[in-house]
Amino acid sequence: MESVPAIAVRNLRFHYPGEKLPAVDDITLSIDTGSCFGLLGPNGAGKSTLLALLTGILLPQHGDIRINGERLSNTRKLHEYISLVPQDYAFYPTLTLQENLDCFAGFYGLQGAHKRARIDFAVQVCGLDDLLHQRASSCSGGVRRRLNLALGLLNQPELLFLDEPTVGIDAQSRHFILESIAGLQRAGMTIIYTSHYMEEIQSICDAIAIIDHGKLLVQDSLANILARAADMPALPARQNAQRLEDFYLSLTHHALRD
């Protein structure tokens, strides 16, 4: 019996008022439960709008979204088992890390021992143990990124949406975060990951979709896409490790987007 995908999207369309073209234009895709799914696209391709639609921030104007086989209608219920880690440092900089964790745990309705256990889990996964009493504003970019991730883990989500979670941090922090994400996936969490760093996608994702101008250009497993990239004529001075980027650029072209 075929397993139900974590996310199934059919003919999804969203058009912002006043814009000429739709931000999401007839996208159909499927994300397997327990996978780490990479969502790629240049700036303005429609990734953020697609994430907003999948997380219930925006409601689809056309098409259908199914989460674990159920049509997305009750966003309040959806928000109990999904989590979005935005690209921005979406927390309160003048509060300490502990206060931020307490505050967001409160937003999830967590109390008492249950709350403490969830906070301990998030702190452990993100390596924040010794930093809890520091104000977020005084922490390094790497710690802030880890706090951003930790806040997204407080409800122990089945689906975790990560929007460029490693922007602007050093190699050590990036390595730590990628390891943590891989660990979460191994524990059974479905991860939807957007990034502009191809090597990150290559290192942690098992399936990929590339979108541009609101349209889905390709969706396949990482292995298949790398195989297709291998068939492409090699670009001068390009290394094998950059095959995914070559393939991505061949689809989205080299023209600057902003």
Amino acid at 256: L
In the complex, the smallest distance separating the C-beta of residue 91 from another protein, rounded to whole angstroms, is 6
| From candidates 31, 72, 97, 104, binder to another protein by CB under 8 A | 104
In the complex, the smallest distance separating the C-beta of residue 212 from another protein, rounded to whole angstroms, is 23
Q: Which pair of structure tokens corresponds to residue 219?
A: 């969706």
**Per rule CB under 8 A, is residue 199 in the interface with another protein?**
no
**Per rule CB under 8 A, is residue 133 in the interface with another protein?**
no
In the complex, the smallest distance separating the C-beta of residue 247 from another protein, rounded to whole angstroms, is 31
Among 205, 190, 179, smallest CA distance to 127 is for 179
**Per rule CB under 8 A, is residue 121 in the interface with another protein?**
no
| From candidates 12, 29, 82, 128, binder to another protein by CB under 8 A | 82
Return the residues of window 33-62 that contact another protein according to CB under 8 A: 55-57
How far apart are alpha carbons 81 and 168 in whole angstroms?
Answer: 28
E-strand ranges in 127-169 read 159-163
Amino acid at 155: N
Q: Would you say 91 and 83 are in contact if contact means Cβ atoms under 8 Å apart?
A: no
**Per rule CB under 8 A, is residue 76 in the interface with another protein?**
yes
**Per rule CB under 8 A, is residue 14 in the interface with another protein?**
no
| From candidates 28, 43, 73, 111, binder to another protein by CB under 8 A | 111
**Per rule CB under 8 A, is residue 88 in the interface with another protein?**
yes
Amino acid at 176: F
Q: Which helix (H) or strand (E) holds 7?
A: strand 7-14
For another protein, which stretch binds (CB under 8 A), given 28-36, 104-112, 168-176, 187-195?
104-112
Q: Would you say 153 and 181 are in contact if contact means Cβ atoms under 8 Å apart?
A: no
How far apart are alpha carbons 192 and 173 in whole angstroms?
Answer: 20
**Per rule CB under 8 A, is residue 89 in the interface with another protein?**
yes
CB atoms within 10 A of CB 159: 22
The residues of the shown chain that bind another protein, judged by CB under 8 A, are 55-57, 76-77, 79-80, 82-84, 86-95, 99, 102-111, 151, 161
